[in-house]
Structure formats: C-alpha cells, structure tokens
Structure 1
Amino acid sequence: MQSAFFVNMLALVDGQPRVISLKEMLQYYIDFRQEVITRRSRFELKMAKARAHILEGLKIALDNIDRVIATIRKAETAEVARRNLMTEFSLTQIQAQAIL
C-alpha cells in the first residue's frame, strides 16, 4: 500500500514568501545552522581570549605577590593602586582591576 501527501512548503526567503522544495528547505536550514554555530564560536573565542588576558595578569601578580601587596598597601586609593600596578608590572587596566 502506498500513500502520498502533499505539503505546501511556504517559507520566508530574504523576507519574501516563497514556495520551496524539500531540498531547498534543508539547504536553508543547514546554512542557518552554520551561521549560528560560527557566530557562537566567535563569541566563545572572544570570551576565552578576554579570560586568558586576565589570567596572564593574575600570573604576573602571583609571580610578584610580595611587591604587588606592597604596592597596593602603600597606595592611598584604589585608582592610585591600579595606576601603580599598571606602571610597575606593565599591566593593562583590565588586568590591574582584576587584581584589585
């Protein structure tokens, strides 16, 4: 016994309604998923690089922990401490803030 059914595959393609085939529907879906995965991967890479940047600063601070503590203690404010850390240890503002 055979059965058949018909489907009206109406989809928005570039903002315009079109009737498309199953093959086209699958291709649009695959293209969409590739774009989503690419954007997600780029975002995760960006976040990982930002985290690595902070961890590099923390490693520098850990290697010089006594000097870092002394620098922070002798500073009058957090802003002065941040500037001193940036100058003395060649840290970026983000790294210095993470240490404080």
Structure 2
Amino acid sequence: KAFENKLKQNFTRDKVNWKWCTDCTWLFLENHDVHYNCIIIDLHDRSVIASITDPSITSDLVIRTLALQKALDSQPKITGGLILHIDQGSQFTEKHLLNSVN
C-alpha cells in the first residue's frame, strides 16, 4: 500500500474542502473508442474539483488532474489538512506520481 486509509470508508459530508476522493473510470464512446476520466470530487457536496479525460489511463492522467486542481484552486482549506482519498490503483501508486505529490 502506498498510503494509509484515513477515511476507513467514512464518506460522510463533513465540511467543504475536508475530504476529497479521486478515481479513474472508462468512457465508452459512440465510435467504440475507450477514453478514461480522472476526477476529483469534494465529499461534502459531491462537487467536481477537477476532471480530465484522456485516451490513456496512466499516472500522467492523475498528475494532470491534480495539477488542474491546483491551478483552479481558489478556496481556502480547512485548518488541519485536506484528505485526498485514492483507491490504490496502479495509476495512483507509480513512483513518479508519489514523488510529484510529496
């Protein structure tokens, strides 16, 4: 495991910018292509913080989504820190991704 599971499946809606989740999913297009979407949501109200779609599912897609979040971020964080929950999939645990978020 790359990270400790701090949420322990507690996905309750506490406060804005307190708990975020990220994951990737498949998008099946009409032309039979498959693209992948990486999204970050705020568990408080399920609002989308950042979202990027790409033909490839790699850690680079995750890094670009995290970078978009940083570029768009204008809201103050809760004192005590933000928890970003990930599912430990390979695109979230590759070494160069871990280095970019530390």
TM-score computed with the length of structure 2 as normaliser: 0.28
Greater fraction of residues in strand:
2
* Larger radius of gyration between Structure 1 and Structure 2: 1
Specify which structure has the bigger relative contact order, considering alpha-carbon pairs within 8 angstroms and separated by 6 or more residues.
Answer: 2
Greater fraction of residues in helix:
1
